[in-house]
Amino acid sequence: MKISRRDALQLGAVAGAGALLAGCSRLPGSTRVLPASVELPPGPTQPAVRVLNRLGFGPAPGQVAEYTATGYAAHLERQLAADLDEPWDLTLRLRRLEVYAFEPGDLVNFPEEEVLRQLQQAAILQAVYSPNQLRERMVEFWSNHFNIHGRKGHAAFRKGRDDTSVIREHALGTFKAMIRASAQSPAMLFYLDNQFNRRGVPNENYARELMELHTLGVHGGYTQEDVREVARCFTGWGVETRAYRYGRGRFRFDPDLHDHRPKRVLGHTIDGGGIKDGFQVLDLLATHPSTARFLATKLSRYFLGEATTDAVERGSKAFLSSGGDIRSTLRALLTEQAVLEGPPIVRRPVDFAVAALRALHADTDGGKGIQDHLEAMGQPLFQWPMPDGYPDKSEAWTGSLLARWNFALALTRGDTPGTRVDLDGLLGFNPGEKSAARIVSLVHGEHPETPTGSRLASIFGARPDPTEQAALALCAPEFQWR
């Protein structure tokens, strides 16, 4: 008897299941285990898909059913708690990355390209495989909010530390603690030139972006005089440049470089003295009503697709009354109705690629193979030069479609080094037209009998090759939105 490729794979799958039971290769908690059922639950699935697209990077196989069983309120609380176990193989892979394991000073011996590659790898792996998807969304949000260009002034070597101790540490914590951490992050201080900000010779770059982009927003009510005064408050905030035993490369406040004369910021006298001047400014900004509005507006656009008066009110009120607690702000902002009713949001390239990898249950190393495509699509991570982060307007990304199509074609064909998609396993070995219906449900979360589902299934079904069907599913306009 001749064994076809499909049969062989099916046998392999059975063997794999056996191994899993025996505790051999596919241990529970691994990112590679396909859930027992990847079928869509009966009934409309669009609300579930919308929620998983907005509070995370899109559904992986089986998640629509899982969410439907859980319900919105419990799902949101679980995601806000962000305490789901990380898959062991994700943890192992991250542990191997020097950008996390090494002190910035020790990383200097690595080529900058390798450091940037690992930073991106860490971001991609966690976005694809972490079950704490809302935290990963917030990490994406804050990484753009506190954007650092890895190619400016060796920032790449310091960004790993910024990623763990500023962005990830506080992604769902309090804004006050986060802004303090960011202000003492060597990566940020270097990126915005604050190491050149000294008594008598202030450099305004950090002070300006701190108010314009990190806290108050450009119309938040500060003046050019405030910028100059805040710059003076942060004189002497820099990075240790002395020998290794002093902690070279870490944050250092140098009182000799600090401007000790009195300052006035937003109508307040700043008289903390020394490093406390800066802390006083940060606390003032972190709890300012303009900051609450600015963040609520940005978060609304990011999660809901628009900043309605109502949403901004809800968000900023919760922000202020909770003392800048990010969980409370999100809880107030992300009502089920607001998430379901907002307009569609264009997936930026990273969002698109991660959603594709999740939908197709890809086995990826998050490495160069994926990163080269992200670059072609216009969003190489940690490489946006300006401090405002990657743009969020749809029109900014209309030029990236060809690169998205090329990614979809390469991914489904197995031409993306370091990434593998097992379409045969995913499609349940259904030959022919059935695979089209299966792909519509996997990638678009649509039952093939809905209007969208049947339109897509009939276009995909006209091609015999399942890899081509899957490529088209990722190329479709529907998959460019979340």
Partner 1 sequence: MKPHNDWWSCDGGGPTPASRRTLLKSAAAGLAALLGGSSALAQVALTGSEKERDGDILVVVFLRGGMDGLNAIVPFGDSAYYGLRPGLGIGGPDSRSRPVSERALDLDGYFGLHPALGPLLPYFKDDQLAIVHAVGSQDRTRSHFEAMNTMERGLDSQSGGTASGWLARHLMAMPPRTGSPMRAVALGSIMPDSLRGGTGAIAIQSLDEFRLEANGRSPEVVERALAELYRTGSDPMTAAGRDTLKVLDAMRKLSPGSYRSEGAPYPNSDLGAGLRQVAMLIKADLGLEVAALDKGGWDTHVAQGTTSGWLASLLEDVASSLHAFASDIGPTMKRVTVVVQTEFGRRAYENSALGTDHGRASCLFVLGGGTRGGRVYGDWPGLADEKLEEGDLRVTTDYRQILAEVLEKRLHNAATERVFPGLSAQPLGIVA
Task: Specify the residue, 208 or 293, whose C-beta has the smaller distance to partner 1.
Answer: 208
Q: Which two tokens stand for residue 224?
A: 């050019």
User: How many angstroms separate the Cα of 340 from the Cα of each of 185, 221, 336, 372, 447?
Assistant: 37, 33, 6, 34, 19
The residues pairing with 72 across neighbouring beta strands, listed in sequence order, are: none
* DSSP sequence for 267-303: TEEE---THHHHHHHHHHHHT-HHHHHHHHHHHHHHH
In the complex with partner 1, which residue's Cβ is closer, 199 or 331? Answer: 199
The dihedrals phi and psi of 264, each to the nearest 5 degrees, come to: -130, 125
What is the Cα–Cα distance from 226 to 184, expressed in whole angstroms?
20
Q: Per CB under 8 A, which of residues 227..266 are in contact with partner 1?
A: 227
Cα–Cα distance for residue pair 236/184, rounded to 1 Å: 11
Closest CB to partner 1 among residues 255, 414: 414
User: Buried b vs exposed e over 156-172: b needs ≥16 C-beta within 10 Å?
Assistant: bbbbbbbbeebbbebbb
- 476 part of the interface to partner 1, by CB under 8 A: yes
- 40 vs 410, beta carbon nearer partner 1: 410
Angle in degrees, 0-180, between the axes of helices 466-475 and 401-413, rounded to the nearest 10: 150
- Structure tokens of 128? 């694809």
Structure tokens at 94: 């991250």
The residue within the footprint of partner 1, chosen from 154, 232, 480, 482 (CB under 8 A), is: 480
The residues in 111-150 that bind partner 1, with binding defined as CB under 8 A, are: none
d(CA 286, CA 85): 31
- What is the footprint of partner 1 within residues 396-415 (CB under 8 A)? 396-403, 405-406, 409-410, 413, 415
CB atoms within 10 A of CB 45: 23
Phi-psi region of 62 (alpha: psi -120 to 50; beta: other; left: phi over 0): left
Of 249-257, 295-303, 328-336, 465-473, the window that binds partner 1 (rule: CB under 8 A) is 465-473
Residue 388 CB, nearest approach to partner 1 (Å): 5
Among 4, 224, 309, 337, binds partner 1 (CB under 8 A): 224
CB 185: neighbour CB atoms within 10 A? 24
CB of 449 to partner 1, least distance (A): 19
Q: Which of residues 442-461 bind partner 1 (CB under 8 A)?
A: 456, 459
Mask for 360-399, x = binds partner 1 (CB under 8 A): ----------------xxx------xx-x--x-xxxxxxx
Nearer to partner 1, 109 or 309 (CB): 309
Query: Per CB under 8 A, which of residues 147..206 are in contact with partner 1?
Result: 193, 196, 198, 200-201, 203-205
What whole-number distance in Å separates Cα of residue 441 and Cα of residue 448?
7
Among 60, 239, 472, 482, binds partner 1 (CB under 8 A): 472
**Of all helices (H) and strands (E), which one includes residue 252?**
strand 251-253
Nearer to partner 1, 90 or 360 (CB): 360
CB of 393 vs partner 1, minimal distance in Å: 7
Number of residues that bind partner 1 (CB under 8 A): 53
Closer CB to partner 1, 287 or 394, in the complex:
394
Task: Let me know: does 182 contact 166? Beta carbons within 8 Å.
Answer: yes
Q: Which is nearer to partner 1, 177 or 376 (CB)?
A: 376
Partners of 251 in beta bridges: 239
Query: In terms of CB distance, is 439 or 456 closer to partner 1?
Result: 456
Among 26, 50, 250, 463, binds partner 1 (CB under 8 A): 463
Positions that interact with partner 1 (CB under 8 A): 193, 196, 198, 200-201, 203-205, 208, 212-213, 218, 224, 227, 344, 346, 376-378, 385-386, 388, 391, 393-403, 405-406, 409-410, 413, 415, 456, 459, 462-463, 465, 468, 471-472, 475-477, 480-481
